[in-house]
Amino acid sequence: MKKLLFIIFAFISLTAHAQEMPIGRDQFYSIENFSDMLKSHVSPYLIKDGSATEALNVNANDEYGSISKRNKRLKLSECHAAPVKSLYRFYKSDDSKYIIQTSSTYVDYVSDEGVCTSLYASASDGRRWSWITYKDMAIGMNGTNNAKKWDGSLLATANTDGHRTAGDLITDLGAPFAELNTGDNLDASGWYQYKIAYYDGSTYSFSSSRSNPILTGSSVRNIKLTDIPLGPEGTTQRIIYRTLGNDSRAAVVADTTFYKVAAIADNSTTIYEDAIPDTTIDDNAAPTWATVSAGTEVTPPKSKYS
């Protein structure tokens, strides 16, 4: 009888031990297709083969249904001490690509090597940005400043034809880009900005958007406008307005006095070469900015980060 009881107790003990072993601790499955990737079911027993509730250090669907080890992470850049608020990958139709990073008051381009180029440094502090690409143009909005656009140009050498001013490579949506152009008609070492108004034969409309501030050189001091915005349907003229030369960037950004430079008698031309001296435009030819700005405002919306 003692031997029988001992055998029974031993069997019970072994059975209990087997039931207490953890289930599914390190289980391995052969999965032929991982296209479903992550699922949000609470229990792993509810998900199908080919999906999971958690996946660490892997990329799924580089090839449909595949899974591969994630590449090691690298530091993007050290543009500024402030935290990065937004990142955007800007692709153009010529296969060029750019990383746009925003932090603090800055909008920067970051090269593949992590080198930073300032595109704009006067945004409202700490805002998040939304970006889209439209017709080879990156368009960014933060809900506070005027919407911005950038065409990918990084040329910013002073006193050089075809270049913009360093730190001011993007412009307001609704305004042209301004770059240096060979010639010596405008003031040397002067800061300028531009605005655009529209005329349909009877009424004026205008945009409060301003071009990127540009500093003329000692010898290369004419200005070329590119990507001049088109007007609403029915526009017969687009009128270009400009500040007089200012002594500093801060002064031109604060300048609210604009003078007529020229009128483009169509709604298709997107380039204008400005070679008109300050001494000519300060005659304040009609229609003056005061006249056109009494019309309908068509400034693009500031939108909201989303």
Q: Give the count of domains, the chain.
A: 3
Residue ranges of the chain with per-residue pLDDT less than 50:
1, 4-24, 306
Phi, psi dihedral angles at 100 (to 5 degrees): -105, 125
One domain, residues 66 and 89: no
Question: Which of 100, 116, 150 corresponds to the end of one domain?
Answer: 150
One domain, residues 247 and 286: yes
What's the pLDDT at 11? 43
**Domain membership flag for residue 207:** yes
What's the pLDDT at 49? 72
**Domain membership flag for residue 222:** yes
One domain, residues 175 and 259: yes
Residue range of the domain that includes 42: 28-73
One domain, residues 142 and 253: no
**Domain membership flag for residue 140:** yes
CA atoms lying within 13 Å on the CB side of residue 253: 11
Per the CB < 8 A criterion, the answer to whether 76 and 109 are in contact is: no
**Domain membership flag for residue 22:** no
Rounded Cα–Cα distance for residues 305 and 167 (Å): 23
Task: Tell which residue, 139, 268, 249, 258, has the closest CA to residue 206.
Answer: 258
With tokens 């009877």, the residue in question is 202
Look at residue 295 and give its three-state secondary structure: coil
One domain, residues 231 and 205: yes
One domain, residues 90 and 125: yes
What's the pLDDT at 48? 74
Look at residue 219 and give its three-state secondary structure: coil
One domain, residues 144 and 175: no
One domain, residues 274 and 183: yes
What's the pLDDT at 88? 96
One domain, residues 242 and 223: yes
One domain, residues 93 and 180: no
Phi, psi dihedral angles at 34 (to 5 degrees): -110, 30
Rounded Cα–Cα distance for residues 65 and 52 (Å): 13
One domain, residues 293 and 229: yes
**Domain membership flag for residue 211:** yes
Rounded Cα–Cα distance for residues 162 and 261 (Å): 20
Look at residue 174 and give its three-state secondary structure: coil
93-146 pLDDT per residue, tens: 999 999 999 999 999 999 988 899 999 999 999 999 999 999 999 999 999 999
One domain, residues 186 and 289: yes
Question: Which of 98, 117, 150 corresponds to the end of one domain?
Answer: 150
Rounded Cα–Cα distance for residues 131 and 140 (Å): 4
What's the pLDDT at 20? 45
What are the CA-CA distances from residue 14 to residues 90, 170, 179 (Å)?
64, 75, 85
Rounded Cα–Cα distance for residues 179 and 272 (Å): 11
**Domain membership flag for residue 14:** no
**Domain membership flag for residue 159:** no
Task: State the DSSP code for 44.
Answer: G
What's the pLDDT at 30? 65
Per the CB < 8 A criterion, the answer to whether 192 and 164 are in contact is: no
**Domain membership flag for residue 230:** yes
Q: What is the pTM of this model?
A: 0.77
What's the pLDDT at 19? 44
Question: Which of 73, 102, 136 corresponds to the end of one domain?
Answer: 73
What's the pLDDT at 12? 44
172-204 pLDDT per residue, tens: 999 999 999 999 999 999 999 999 999 999 999
